[in-house]
Amino acid sequence: MLVLAERLRATNGGSLDESAIQAVAEATGVPTEYVRLAHKLRTERQKKSFLSNARAQFMTLEPEVRRSVISGITASLCALLHVIEVRLTMGTANHYAVFDMLALVALTAGLYNICVSKDAKVAAIGGAVFGGGFFAMNALFSMFLGVPARIEALGLIGFTLLGAVAGLLLFRVVEKYRPQLGLVDPVKERQELLRQLHELRERLESGERSMTFLSVDIVGSTRMKTLSDPLSVEFTFNEYHQFVDRVTRKHGGAVHSTAGDGVTCAFDHPQSAFAAAKNVQTEIMELNAFRNKVGVPIVLRCGIHSGSVVAPSADDITSLNFAHVIDVAAHIQKACPPGSIAVSEMASTGISEGAGSVGTEWIEVEGTRAVVWSPRHAAGVVAAGPPPPTPQSP
């Protein structure tokens, strides 16, 4: 959601601000403080410059605190520029007012910061910080730069009160004439961004569907490769990949990806994935007998898991690069006994007759339970049927 909000802001030439952060918080149901922290951590990972780090720290502050910080900074800048102008023109008849004009720009920025506050209280506090900050920093810079100035302690109170009243009045005027001034209402802006985020979420979730992934891998493949020549290894493993691809397509699936000796296959239904896995485990004997040239039988492990995925291209499952369901299938496969199939509890609910038709042995991998199918269990199922009738004596 943070990435989406940043991209939406970027399309309009802006950056992630408080309205966007609050919209993300409302869209996700996460506290605003957590969203600010996530934005800070994400910014720290992406950028390492001083300004980027300072901005990330600034964005973690509460909106009211940020207004006060900006008021203090602009007030200090305004005071510094004014004192510099006075210092440069001391004892001379020339007065170009360059730094006074820059101070006026800083003053305008400070007033704008106060005007766009979210409520009158924040505006009054921001005005008080600006007024008091200008008085205090003007006295400090005058002392450091040797500029004579008649400054009384009670003036700090007067400037602070004057700034608070001015900030309150400016906020009231701007609030009344906001549309005429071309300023966007922060509440409406947040609501608009929230609407856009929900629309993007709906568009993303429209491609969501339930998929089942079968992870297949060869047990001890490294040892197999070291015991045979490269040509025999290449021929055998090519035959193995073609064999898995053929069985997968036979059962209505598609090879999602291959990584070394591992193959990940995607199916629309757990029943198809389980049938393909059993087909792979039973027919691997034929490949070992006639097309295996490495001299060591290929033994496979299979893991099956189901879950929801959102592929960038709904018609091409290979466009899905990362998904938790794929990782779980791979973890289950690694814990599966050689020559067997491990079916996650979630995937087993989609198999006819449930987990009982798969097997009786259970394993647990990183909090996910899986039932194990093996050729021995398949033979046991047949033997467990009713006994044949005994012949009758004549």
Where in the chain are the domains? 61-200, 208-383
Residue 8's pLDDT is what? 57
At the top level of CATH, the class of 208-383 is alpha beta
Residue 198's pLDDT is what? 74
- C-beta of residue 27 within 8 angstroms of C-beta of residue 199: no
Judged against a pLDDT cut of 60, whether residue 69 lies above it is answered with: yes
Tens of pLDDT, residues 221-237 = 888 888 888 899 999 99
Judged against a pLDDT cut of 50, whether residue 295 lies above it is answered with: yes
The two three-digit tokens of residue 326, written as one number? 């794929």
The two three-digit tokens of residue 374, written as one number? 């093996």
Instruction: Calculate what percentage of the chain has a pLDDT beyond 70.
Output: 78
Residue with tokens 């510094």: 80
Mean per-residue pLDDT over the chain, rounded: 82
Selection from 35-39, 143-147, 375-379 with the highest mean pLDDT:
143-147
Residue 383's pLDDT is what? 34
Distances (CA, A) of 126 to 73, 144, 173, 283: 11, 26, 16, 77
What average pLDDT does the segment 20-42 reach?
Answer: 71
Residue 10's pLDDT is what? 62
Residue with tokens 């059993």: 278
Q: Give the pLDDT band (50/70/90) at residue 210.
A: confident
Helices (H), the chain: 2-11, 18-28, 32-46, 50-59, 63-88, 98-115, 120-145, 154-176, 178-181, 186-205, 221-226, 230-250, 270-290, 324-335, 345-348, 375-383
Under DSSP, the state recorded for 251 is T
Judged against a pLDDT cut of 70, whether residue 205 lies above it is answered with: no
- C-beta of residue 390 within 8 angstroms of C-beta of residue 378: no
